[in-house]
Amino acid sequence: MAGYFITFEGIEGSGKSTQIKLLVAHLIKQQIPHLSTREPGGTPIAEAIRKILLDPLCSEMLPEAELLLYSASRAQHTGELILPALAAGKVVISDRYYDSSTAYQGAARDLDYDVIDLLNSFATFHTVPDLTVLLDLPVEEGFKRIDHRDLDRLEQEDISFTKRFDSSFYLLPKNTHPDTLYWMP
């Protein structure tokens, strides 16, 4: 029995974590085997890479290095955690996946989309979500929701960066893998 892969995407403060908690609570109530994870991260190696990616002291990171680090984290995360869970028939829920690289490194960092797509495909072992939930929220509201916490390297970017990132999500259903269902509640 194959599992089902659901990803949540959106800007910081859009409610991804809240919606994932609600979905997990529902799956627990229904006694449905599941795995909830996040990206970057999810495994010890991927979490170590996450620390580098989000460290505010790494502000000089080149966009190309950023993309490669995300790809490394994604490969470890997918191979070590996601694929075995799917093979075991679990519902896998991930707070972000490769669409974030398309948005962050493609639209916001202006890196070549073909390179990003190639790396995403390679790093995911050609794994695509069955469903991606895109949570929409005005950028200004997202900034208000996160202003109380210590901001990581990406959250410290200016509002124009986040607006470029956010606007690219509207293009994902048209430009990404045809096997993924995109839902914008």
Beta strands in the chain (DSSP E): 4-9, 34-38, 91-95, 131-134, 181-183
Superfamily of domain 4-183: P-loop containing nucleotide triphosphate hydrolases (3.40.50.300)
- Position 87 scores a pLDDT of 97
Residues ≥6 apart with Cβ < 8 Å to 101: 67, 70, 71, 74, 116, 119, 120
Closest by CA to 38, choosing from 92, 107, 101, 109, is 92
| Dist CA 101 CA 121 (whole Å) | 12
Indicate the pTM of the whole model. Answer: 0.86
Residue ranges in the chain whose pLDDT is less than 50: none
Going from N- to C-terminal start, the domains of the chain cover 4-183
Phi/psi of residue 8, each to 5°?
A: -115, 130
pLDDT digits (tens, 9 = 90+) for 16-32: 899 999 999 999 999 99
Closest by CA to 135, choosing from 31, 50, 43, 22, is 22
- Position 145 scores a pLDDT of 61
- Position 26 scores a pLDDT of 97
